[in-house]
C-alpha cells in the first residue's frame, strides 16, 4: 500500500501530465491545470535551489581545506626550500 504522500504526488503528476498534453494539443486549460503546472514548476525551482546551495557549501568546505593546507607554516617552509633549490640549480 502506498503512503499518502506517494499517492498525492502520483495524483499531482497525473494532473500535470494531462495539463501538458492539453498544451501540446493547444486545448484550453482550466484553473486546476494551471495551478498544478505552476505548483510543479515551483517545486522544481525549490529543488534546484536547494541542490545549488548544497553544492556551494561543499565547494566552500573544500576551499577552506585547501587554504588551510596552502597557508600552513610547514607548507610555506617547503615552498621556500623548493624555491631556494630551484634558484641554486637553475
Q: DSSP assignment of 33-59, as one string?
A: HHHHHHHHHHHHHHHHHHHHHHHHHHH
Do the domain assignments include residue 51?
yes
pLDDT tens-place string over residues 3-35: 888 888 899 899 999 999 999 999 999 999 999
Do the domain assignments include residue 78?
no
* Res. 1 pLDDT band, cuts 50 70 90: low
Do the domain assignments include residue 38?
yes
Distance CA 90, CA 86 (A): 6
Do the domain assignments include residue 71?
no
Do the domain assignments include residue 34?
yes
Buried b (16+ CB within 10 A) or exposed e, 38-63: eebeeeeeeeeeeeeeeeeeeeeeee
In which domain, by residue range, is 44 found?
A: 4-63
- Number of structural domains the chain divides into: 1
| CA-wise closest residue to 88 among 43, 80, 16 | 80
The pTM of the full predicted model, rounded to 2 decimals, is: 0.54
- pLDDT over threshold 80, residue 73: no
Do the domain assignments include residue 72?
no
Do the domain assignments include residue 8?
yes
pLDDT tens-place string over residues 27-65: 999 999 999 999 999 988 888 888 888 899 999 999 888
Do the domain assignments include residue 21?
yes
Amino acid at each position: 500500500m502506498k503512503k499518502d504522500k506517494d499517492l498525492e504526488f502520483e495524483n499531482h503528476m497525473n494532473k500535470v501530465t494531462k495539463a501538458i498534453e492539453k498544451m501540446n494539443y493547444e486545448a484550453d486549460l482550466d484553473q486546476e491545470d494551471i495551478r498544478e503546472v505552476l505548483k510543479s514548476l515551483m517545486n522544481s525551482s525549490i529543488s534546484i535551489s536547494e541542490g545549488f546551495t548544497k553544492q556551494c557549501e561543499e565547494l566552500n568546505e573544500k576551499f577552506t581545506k585547501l587554504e588551510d593546507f596552502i597557508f600552513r607554516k610547514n607548507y610555506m617552509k617547503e615552498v621556500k626550500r623548493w624555491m631556494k633549490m630551484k634558484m641554486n640549480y637553475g
